Chains A and B, each alone.
Chain A
Amino acid sequence: MAERQSGWLQQWYFRRAVPRRFYEELAEEGILYEFLHEHCAELLQKDERFRHDMYEILLRCSPRPVPGLERDLLRELSEALSYFLEYTRPWRKAKR
């Protein structure tokens, strides 16, 4: 329930409260991911805040699945899980 309310509020916020950017238009066209890797690859790689902003726009505005985005998100998820596994290794060893 709270998740649904937060999703609706976020949709309202980005459609009515803040002005639209051209990244959102590129995402609605389905070419934002290719545009970013073609023109902003270095910024996307180094600036985490920008990268997460672009991922959010892709997830919110893209009309069809983006395999590259899925791959990037799975890679980040894999890194996070690897960190989690590495972080919880002493407890797991102790439990064994």
Chain B
Amino acid sequence: MAESKALSAEIVALFDTIRQQAQAYAEAFSRVEELLQQLQRQREQLLTEVEHFHQQRELLIQQFRRQIEETVSRLTERVAALRDIITRVDQVEEMLRQVVQLPEHFAGQVAEALAQAELKVRSTEQKVALLLRNLQEGLQNVEQRLHVIRLLCQRDVSELRQQIKSLREELDPTQLRQQALQSVELRLQPLEHQVTELATLVVQLERSLTERAPPPEMPVVVAQQEEVVITRLRNELQRVSGRMAHLEKQLLLAFLLFGVILLGALLFLVLKGNP
């Protein structure tokens, strides 16, 4: 077009200017296209990153939510534990208050229990002393009766000897034998009665000792003291029982001796009556 003669120079210059501007525009448009493509690529990259960020955000949100739920549950458990601890602390404080008040109450109870125990110990000691006195009196009675029985036996033996002597001199041996037997039977009956009374007295004493058991609701100290007392009483009872057995043995020996003497007298009479 530059070499064309169909256009005037002004028109050709105008077209050249416009061509140059069009080329500049084309270059600018190509640059804009490149920039647009670059922006498109950046946009796609940004969209990818945004999608990645969205995914990370969702993951982080889920993770944070999970952590928050765990933290909240942990805090809830700790709050419950704290409430429990506070309740227990209140209970402990209440118990401490009661413990602080306890010595006075306990001192009063102890003093009252000691007074009751002293009273019971004194009453028990009095009962034991009374029982021991009764036992001693019973033993003295038994000894006195035994002594009386012994004296009676000696007297009867002496009387029998005298009667035997007189009978030997005066009466017939058969009558003498019958009279002697009757008199012996008559004298043995009160002795038998006295022995029976002694046996019943011993049984009553044993029962009275066994019925002195401590009550179950007594305090420990009083129960121990009463147990000691009961042990002493049992020892005393055993001692009394031994003494009673000894007395029974002596009584048996006395009876045996009396029987032997009686048999000897009878044999003597029989042998003397049948020369």
On A, residues with C-beta under 8 Å from B are: 3, 7, 27, 58-60, 62-66, 69-70, 73-74, 77, 81, 84
Interface centre among B2, B7, B14, B15 (most CB of A within 10 A): B7
- The secondary-structure label for the interface of chain B is loop
- The secondary-structure label for the interface of chain A is helix
What chain A residues lie within 8 Å of B6 (beta carbons)? 27, 58-59, 62, 64-66, 69-70
Interface centre among B2, B3, B5, B15 (most CB of A within 10 A): B5
A37 CA to B265 CA, complexed, in Å: 207
A62 CA to B6 CA, complexed, in Å: 5
B7 and A69 form a contact (CB under 8 A): yes
A84 CA to B29 CA, complexed, in Å: 12
A59 and B1 form a contact (CB under 8 A): yes
What chain B residues lie within 8 Å of A63 (beta carbons)? 5
A77 and B15 form a contact (CB under 8 A): yes
What chain A residues lie within 8 Å of B274 (beta carbons)? none
* Interface residue count on the B side (C-beta < 8 Å): 13
What chain B residues lie within 8 Å of A77 (beta carbons)? 15, 18
B5 and A70 form a contact (CB under 8 A): no
Closest Cβ of chain A: how far from B114's Cβ, in Å?
109
B4 and A70 form a contact (CB under 8 A): no
B11 is an interface residue with CB less than 8 A from chain A: yes
A7 and B7 form a contact (CB under 8 A): no
A3 CA to B18 CA, complexed, in Å: 16
Contact pick for B4, options A3, A60, A74, A84, CB 8 Å:
A60
What chain B residues lie within 8 Å of A74 (beta carbons)? 11, 14
A–B pairs, 17, beta carbons within 8 Å: A3-B2, A7-B2, A27-B6, A58-B6, A59-B7, A63-B5, A64-B5, A64-B6, A65-B8, A65-B11, A66-B7, A69-B7, A70-B6, A70-B8, A70-B11, A73-B11, A74-B11
B11 and A7 form a contact (CB under 8 A): no
- Contact flags B2-32 to A (C-beta < 8 A → 1, else 0): 1111111001001100100000010000000
Count of CB-CB pairs between chains A and B under 8 Å: 38
A84 CA to B14 CA, complexed, in Å: 17
What chain A residues lie within 8 Å of B11 (beta carbons)? 65, 70, 73-74
Seed contacts A27-B6, A65-B11; 6 additional CB < 8 Å A-B pairs: A3-B2, A64-B6, A66-B6, A70-B8, A73-B7, A73-B15
What chain A residues lie within 8 Å of B4 (beta carbons)? 59-60, 62
Q: Which residue of A lies closest to B25 (CB)?
A: A84
A65 and B15 form a contact (CB under 8 A): no
Top 7 nearest A-B pairs by Cβ distance?
Answer: A62-B6, A59-B4, A65-B8, A66-B6, A70-B11, A59-B6, A58-B6
A65 and B5 form a contact (CB under 8 A): yes
Closest Cβ of chain A: how far from B53's Cβ, in Å?
29
Q: Which residue of B lies closest to A57 (CB)?
A: B6
What chain B residues lie within 8 Å of A59 (beta carbons)? 1, 4, 6-7
A66 CA to B4 CA, complexed, in Å: 11
A69 CA to B14 CA, complexed, in Å: 14
A92 CA to B25 CA, complexed, in Å: 13
Interface centre among A7, A59, A63, A64 (most CB of B within 10 A): A59
Closest Cβ of chain A: how far from B241's Cβ, in Å?
134
A57 CA to B25 CA, complexed, in Å: 28
Q: Which residue of B lies closest to A65 (CB)?
A: B8
A70 CA to B8 CA, complexed, in Å: 8
Contact pick for A62, options B5, B14, B25, CB 8 Å:
B5
